[in-house]
C-alpha cells in the first residue's frame, strides 16, 4: 500500500512529466525546433515544481530526475546528428552539475557552521544541480545569482510593507523565474 505522502510525490512527478510532454507537443505543433520544444518543456516542468513547492515546501526527487532526464533526451537528439558534439555537451553538463552542486553544498556547510541553519533546502540544492546539468555551468551559476536576487527583492519589498512571510518560503518559484530570464533574455555576460 502506498503512503499518502508517496502518492502525492508520485502525482507531482507524474504531473510534471505529463505537463512537460504536453508543452513540448504544443511547441512542436507550432513549428518550433526540437530544442525549443525541450526548453518549453523545461519551463513547464519548473512551473509545476514551483506550484508544488509553494503548496508543500517540498521538491520531489522524481521532478528533479525528470529535469535531468529531459537533458539526457536532448543529448540523445544531439548525438543522432553529431556524436562528438553530444559528448562535448555531456561533459559540459556533467561539469555544470558538479560545479553547481559543489558550490551549493560548500555554501550550505559554511552557512550551517556559522548560523546553525544551512539556509537552503535539499530539494532546492538538487533542483539547482539538475539545472546545472541541463543548462551548463555558466547558466547554472547565473540561475543561482538571479534567483537569489529575485528572492531578496521580493522578501525586501515584503519587509518594507511589513508583511512577514514567516521563516520558510518556497524557493522554486524564484528559481523558475531565473531560468526563464536566463533562457529568454540576453544577459550582459554573454550566455
Digitized pLDDT (tens) for each residue of the chain, 191 residues in all: 445 455 555 555 556 666 556 655 555 566 667 788 888 889 989 999 999 999 999 999 989 998 998 899 889 888 888 899 999 999 999 999 999 999 999 999 999 999 998 889 999 999 999 999 999 999 999 999 999 999 999 888 877 776 655 567 899 999 999 999 999 886 665 55
Residues 6 or more apart in contact with residue 121 via CB below 8 angstroms? 57, 59, 171
Domain assignment present for residue 45? The answer is yes
Number of domains present in the structure of the chain: 1
Q: Give domain status of residue 191, yes or no.
A: no
pLDDT of residue 41: 85
pLDDT at 29: 61
pLDDT of residue 97: 97
Q: What is the pTM of this model?
A: 0.83
Q: Is residue 63 part of a domain?
A: yes
Residue 30 burial (C-beta neighbours within 10 Å; 0-12, 13-18, 19+): exposed
Residue 64 lies in a domain: yes
Q: Give a yes or no: residue 189 inside a domain.
A: no
pLDDT of residue 172: 96
139 belongs to a structural domain? yes
**Which letter, b or e, does each residue of 35-52 get, where b requires 16 or more Cβ atoms within 10 Å of its Cβ?**
eebbbbbbbbbbbbbbbb
pLDDT at position 159: 76
| Amino acid 2: pLDDT | 46
Domain that holds residue 74: 4-184
Residue 190, in any domain of the structure: no
Angstrom distance (rounded) from CA 171 to CA 47? 12
Q: Is residue 14 part of a domain?
A: yes
Amino acid at each position: 500500500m502506498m503512503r499518502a505522502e508517496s502518492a502525492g510525490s508520485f502525482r507531482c512527478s507524474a504531473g510534471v512529466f505529463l505537463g512537460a510532454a504536453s508543452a513540448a507537443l504544443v511547441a512542436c505543433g507550432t513549428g518550433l525546433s526540437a530544442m525549443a520544444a525541450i526548453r518549453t518543456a523545461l519551463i513547464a516542468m519548473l512551473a509545476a515544481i514551483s506550484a508544488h513547492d509553494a503548496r508543500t515546501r517540498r521538491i520531489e526527487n522524481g521532478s528533479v530526475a525528470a529535469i535531468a532526464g529531459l537533458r539526457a533526451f536532448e543529448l540523445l537528439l544531439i548525438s543522432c546528428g553529431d556524436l562528438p558534439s553530444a559528448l562535448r555537451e555531456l561533459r559540459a553538463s556533467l561539469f555544470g552539475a558538479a560545479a553547481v552542486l559543489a558550490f551549493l553544498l560548500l555554501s550550505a556547510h559554511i552557512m550551517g557552521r556559522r548560523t546553525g541553519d544551512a539556509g537552503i533546502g535539499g530539494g532546492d540544492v538538487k533542483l539547482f544541480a539538475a539545472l546545472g546539468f541541463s543548462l551548463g555551468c555558466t547558466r547554472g551559476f547565473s540561475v543561482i545569482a538571479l534567483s537569489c536576487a529575485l528572492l531578496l527583492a521580493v522578501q525586501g519589498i515584503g519587509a518594507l510593507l511589513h508583511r512577514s512571510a514567516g521563516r520558510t518560503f518556497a524557493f522554486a518559484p524564484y528559481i523558475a523565474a531565473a531560468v526563464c530570464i536566463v533562457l529568454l533574455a540576453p544577459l550582459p555576460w554573454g550566455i
